[in-house]
Chains A and B, each alone.
Chain A
Amino acid sequence: MANILVYALHYEGAINKNSLGAVSEGADLAAKTGGECHAILVGEGVADDLAASLGTHGATKVLRAEGPEGLAQPVVDAMAAAWASGAYDYALFGGGLLGFEVGAGLAARLGIGVAMEITAVHITDGALVAERPVLGDSAISEIRFAGEKGIIIGRLNAFELRESGSGPAAVENLDVSYSPFSTQAQMLIRGEQRGEQVDIEGANVLVAGGRGLGAAEGFQLCEDLASAFGGGAAVAATRAVVDAGWFPYAGQIGQTGKTVAPKLYLAAGISGAIQHKVGMQNSENIVAINKDANAPIFEFSDLGIVGDLNKILPKLTEAVKAKKGG
């Protein structure tokens, strides 16, 4: 029997999609082992409805703790308080950022094992075994937890959303006394949208640019190619260039950005880091231009061009325009 506690991240009245996936996965694993799946929410005045809604995805109980939002350590305190009841065997997190921090902190606190970037969980002899792709996703390692207690942090989009529950879950308030150090970080601004609003989720063609563009001005090459494709095409980016201020956050693909699956995704000057890949790997057709023949992105491209984007993009733009015109 495995009783599972799932952390549900929420923001502005909505539960994070990856957390809903984790609750679905937790419910499935609990059901298969004859256990229960509970979820935990930490926040300021979390509404009854929001908490109870996790029942839809299979949580049979939701623990609600009053506490600061957007920071990991208060959640570690809350989950450790819940864990003290002795009821839980595993904690589960969806992909993103906060869950990584919470899960690792909780592992330290509880003295149990933690595995991250997990893409699947299976059950062997009643224990959970987590699968983690390693070495640029060329192999999958299987991880088992000592004492059959552990913490599993999913990779972005790894856990499928399912509505296996039978309605609203029971909501129980959890009293937490926060550690002094957990309250020594204080959120000043949360969720700032740097740069203008751009829509990349609705596009059927995405021209994505990375650090290989060299400078913010390099994005003009991507903009030009996207315009050549016409309506339905947009420009997207990696975290590296968004952090550098070259492109708006709203256009970022990946672990802490958007998940997209256009008909055509064309990457220019992008290395293909796992944290980027997880946000675009379901694109129908993947084309990459990179001057480094060993760039990881070629491992998951349908068409790879080894070359200088500064030479290729302008000519490609002209050719696409000509094709469209003709």
Chain B
Amino acid sequence: MDRSGEKNLNPYDTHAIEAAMQLKESGALPVEEIVAVSMGPESAVRALHKAVSLGADRSVHLSDDALAGSDVAGTGYALAQVLRREEPNLVLLGQQSDDGECYTVGAVVADHLQMPSLTQVIKLEVEGGTELKAERQAEYGYDTVKVQLPAVISVGDAINEPRYPSLKAIMGAKKKPLDTVGTGDVGIDAAKVGGDNATAKWVGSSLPPKKEPGQIIEDEDTAETVEKIVAWLDERKLI
């Protein structure tokens, strides 16, 4: 899977930025600064501009040809190397990337940073400035977990309603500091990243068994549409 995308800000990640903003604005956590980090080709700058227009104070762009084609393990490792340098108290991620859809980069990052971690968190409260109370849905229902900071939290899209950036924030985004780094700057072992070094390698593809496409009705006259639905159900003895 080509994970070099991230051309525009992944919509799921706006929830992570919003969660950071809410922690900062509520004073629940003393937040010195919010830093947006993205790994991707040159076009990832656009995602970072969006991130700072949503409230991040500055951004770091990890960009290097050596990173192209990295798998989840490589991406998580590379991101962890950038994050390590920032010494964060809290790393927030989104629930899934729109290109990779693995929902696992957070777990990889956390193991490299040796921080406690949870994914799919939909409620986050700070307790005493050093601990988080996080809620998320897992296989058997909702779990409430106490997590000590520093921690790595991937948030689910139900955690908040991201704000829209103001026109002023959009205009100002390009003025906020953007630091571009390559693998050498953050101590990334180039032998552990990139498509050629991927430990899970794409070796081929096939097509799934062809399924007959379903019937589609465009609703123009609802009475007629409903008649068609009922006939369809009736034919299959479903009513």
A-side residues, CB < 8 A to B, are 9, 11, 16, 70-73, 76, 96-98, 100-105, 107-109, 111-117, 129, 131-134, 137-147, 150, 153, 179-182, 184-194, 205, 229, 239-240, 242-244, 249, 256, 263-264, 274, 285-287, 293, 298, 300-308, 311-312, 315-316, 319-320, 323-324
Q: Is the CB of A264 within 8 A of B203?
A: no
Q: Is the CB of A107 within 8 A of B108?
A: yes
A104-B79 Cα distance, complex, nearest whole Å: 14
Closest to B111 in A: A108
A263 surroundings in chain B (CB, below 8 A): 238
A70-B110 Cα distance, complex, nearest whole Å: 17
The 29 listed contacts between A and B (C-beta, < 8 Å) are: A72-B117, A73-B111, A97-B120, A104-B107, A104-B111, A107-B72, A112-B199, A113-B71, A116-B103, A143-B201, A146-B198, A181-B115, A184-B115, A184-B116, A184-B151, A188-B133, A191-B138, A191-B141, A240-B157, A286-B214, A293-B218, A302-B215, A303-B214, A303-B229, A304-B217, A312-B225, A319-B229, A320-B230, A323-B234
6 other A-B residue contacts (CB within 8 Å) besides A108-B112, A286-B214:
A16-B139, A108-B77, A114-B73, A116-B104, A138-B207, A142-B202
A116-B102 Cα distance, complex, nearest whole Å: 7
B216 surroundings in chain A (CB, below 8 A): 293, 298, 303-306
A111 surroundings in chain B (CB, below 8 A): 73, 192, 199
The 10 closest A-B pairs by CB, nearest first: A307-B219, A113-B199, A113-B200, A243-B158, A104-B104, A191-B140, A108-B111, A104-B107, A191-B141, A184-B116
The digit string for B123-153, where 1 denotes a CB below 8 A from any CB of A, is 0000000000100011111111111100100
Say whether B94 faces chain A, with CB atoms less than 8 Å apart. Answer: no
Q: Is the CB of A11 within 8 A of B139?
A: yes
The A-B contact count (CB < 8 A) is: 266
A76 surroundings in chain B (CB, below 8 A): 111
The digit string for B201-221, where 1 denotes a CB below 8 A from any CB of A, is 111111110010011111100
A104-B215 Cα distance, complex, nearest whole Å: 40
Q: Is the CB of B199 within 8 A of A107?
A: yes
A165-B147 Cα distance, complex, nearest whole Å: 40
A205 surroundings in chain B (CB, below 8 A): 238
Q: Is the CB of A305 within 8 A of B205?
A: no
Q: Is the CB of A185 within 8 A of B214?
A: no
Q: Is the CB of A306 within 8 A of B218?
A: yes
A247-B157 Cα distance, complex, nearest whole Å: 17
B229 surroundings in chain A (CB, below 8 A): 287, 303, 305, 312, 316, 319
A107 surroundings in chain B (CB, below 8 A): 72-73, 108, 199
A189-B147 Cα distance, complex, nearest whole Å: 13
Counting chain B residues whose Cβ lies within 8 A of the other chain, the interface size class is 35 or more
Closest to A297 in B: B214
Chain A nearest CB from B104 CB (Å) reads 4
Closest to A317 in B: B226
Say whether B167 faces chain A, with CB atoms less than 8 Å apart. Answer: no
B76 surroundings in chain A (CB, below 8 A): 104, 108
Say whether B166 faces chain A, with CB atoms less than 8 Å apart. Answer: no
A309-B17 Cα distance, complex, nearest whole Å: 32
A112 surroundings in chain B (CB, below 8 A): 73, 199
Closest to A186 in B: B146
Q: Is the CB of A73 within 8 A of B117?
A: yes
B119 surroundings in chain A (CB, below 8 A): 97, 100-101
Closest to B107 in A: A104
